[in-house]
């Protein structure tokens, strides 16, 4: 729980990890990719405040104690949602698997949401794994990495027939939240495999699923916004937006936030720290304090109140995942419903309308 100026914030970290990228987990023959991947991740950490930077050795494999301290004890997070990324082409046990995450969650009941993942290129075996993960861990969300390498393939699209088969199976299994990485690439993955153009097609065809576009399609922010405003079940995952831009690129951060608030709306935006790239503490504190620069350049964007920040920092994700929010953190009815599917600010709430 975080409290500032008499306002209490229930924080749900909607995008975080518990990875192992140490050299003893590198696949023989693929060491250059395993090494390059984690070094690229580590370079992104440099966009945060200098005092939060880690050595590469610590970054490759941090401990359970590190995570619990950084995320919960110091980081103001009440509930954290694991988003697995396997990368078994490069990491022998996987980079950040459902099982590794869920084992930690089982040790700390009520603190984690154990999402799973799937890859439609895995075929029947992948469907079996998906069913087992849902049955064992009760996963209600899945993380998709459309640019992941798999047996010679360097990516897939959500519109592929195999992807439709998996999306249908996930929905039948009770998974309601599909988190799709559509944002900055990490070497050696291909940037074009993260294009957002396939999201609107599946969002229309699967209205019973929520599509949380992680990293909001950066650098394609306009493409994302114009697509998300027409699709009521598309949400903006703010991992990288806050961690990668708020400190290092404050004016660009204000532009991105302004576009998201104008087109998508505060009810459809979810905080994610992207731990362990960045720690949540400085992101939560900085976002609560944040406002647009005093400049004509930003005058036509909707303002963000404390109620809006509460939605983004936790209440929207809590509603999507049916996380119980203590009464003292709930909003009054006049503040609107968190995660409401129709919240574009375009007509009613934009300045001057």
Q: What is the pTM of this model?
A: 0.94
pLDDT score at 340: 84
- Model pLDDT for residues 52-98, shown as the tens digit of each residue: 999 999 999 999 999 999 999 999 999 999 999 999 999 999 999 99
In whole angstroms, give the CA distance from residue 236 to residue 249. 19
pLDDT band at 351 (very low <50, low <70, confident <90, very high): very low
- Model pLDDT for residues 12-51, shown as the tens digit of each residue: 999 999 999 999 999 999 999 999 999 999 999 999 999 9
pLDDT score at 345: 46
Q: Which residues contact 20 (CB under 8 A, 6 or more apart)?
A: 60, 61, 91, 93, 95, 96, 100
Instruction: Return the ∠ at Cα 27 (arms to 21 and 30), rounded to 5°.
Output: 100
Domain boundaries, the chain: 11-335
- Asked if the model's pLDDT at residue 346 lies above 60, the reply is no
One-character DSSP codes across 236-253: EE-TTIIIIITTT-HHHH
- Asked if the model's pLDDT at residue 337 lies above 90, the reply is no
One-character DSSP codes across 329-346: GPPPGGG--TT-S----T
pLDDT score at 343: 54
CATH number given to 11-335: 3.20.20.140
Q: Quick check: 194 and 181 in contact, CB under 8 A? A: yes
- Model pLDDT for residues 186-229, shown as the tens digit of each residue: 999 998 889 999 999 999 999 999 999 999 999 899 999 999 99
> How far is the CA of 188 from the CAs of 117, 125, 177, in angstroms?
21, 26, 27
pLDDT score at 288: 98
pLDDT band at 342 (very low <50, low <70, confident <90, very high): low
Residue with the bigger pLDDT between 346 and 335: it is 335
pLDDT score at 226: 94
Helix/strand/coil for 181:
strand
Only one residue has tokens 């996963």, namely 139
- Asked if the model's pLDDT at residue 341 lies above 80, the reply is no
- Tell me phi and psi for residue 54, to 5 degrees: -110, 160
In whole angstroms, give the CA distance from residue 234 to residue 8. 27
- Model pLDDT for residues 263-317, shown as the tens digit of each residue: 999 999 999 999 999 999 999 999 999 999 999 999 999 999 999 999 999 999 9
- Asked if the model's pLDDT at residue 348 lies above 70, the reply is no
């Amino acid at each position: 729980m975080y409290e500032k100026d008499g306002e209490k914030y229930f924080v749900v970290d909607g995008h975080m990890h518990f990875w192992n990228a140490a050299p003893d987990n590198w696949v023989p023959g693929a060491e250059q990719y395993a090494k390059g991947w984690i070094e690229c991740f580590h370079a992104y950490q440099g966009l945060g405040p200098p005092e939060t930077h880690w050595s590469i050795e610590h970054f490759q494999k941090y401990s359970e104690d590190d995570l619990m301290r950084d995320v919960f004890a110091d980081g103001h997070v009440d509930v954290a949602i694991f988003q697995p990324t396997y990368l078994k082409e490069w990491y022998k046990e996987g980079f950040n698997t459902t099982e590794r995450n869920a084992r930690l969650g089982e040790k700390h009941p009520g603190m984690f949401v154990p999402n799973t993942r799937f890859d439609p290129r895995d075929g029947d075996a992948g469907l079996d794994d998906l069913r087992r993960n849902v049955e064992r861990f009760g996963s209600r969300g899945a993380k998709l990495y459309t640019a992941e390498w798999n047996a010679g393939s360097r990516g897939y699209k959500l519109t592929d027939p195999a992807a439709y088969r998996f999306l249908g199976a996930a929905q039948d299994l009770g998974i309601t939240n599909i988190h799709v990485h559509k944002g900055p690439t990490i070497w050696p993955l291909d940037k074009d495999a993260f294009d957002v153009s396939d999201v609107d097609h599946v969002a229309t065809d699967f209205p019973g699923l929520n599509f949380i576009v992680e990293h909001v399609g950066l650098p394609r922010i306009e493409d994302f916004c114009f697509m998300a405003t027409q699709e009521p079940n598309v949400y903006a995952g703010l991992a990288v937006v806050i961690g990668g831009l708020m400190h290092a690129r404050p004016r660009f951060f204000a532009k991105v936030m302004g576009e998201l608030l104008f087109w998508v709306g505060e009810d459809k935006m979810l905080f994610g720290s992207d731990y362990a790239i960045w720690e949540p503490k400085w992101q939560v504190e900085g976002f609560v304090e944040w406002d647009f620069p005093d400049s004509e350049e930003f005058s036509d964007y909707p303002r963000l109140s404390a109620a809006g920040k509460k939605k983004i920092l936790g209440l929207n994700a809590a509603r999507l995942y049916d996380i119980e929010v203590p009464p003292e953190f709930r909003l009054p009815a006049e503040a609107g419903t968190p995660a409401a599917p129709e919240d574009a600010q375009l007509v009613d709430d934009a300045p001057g309308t």
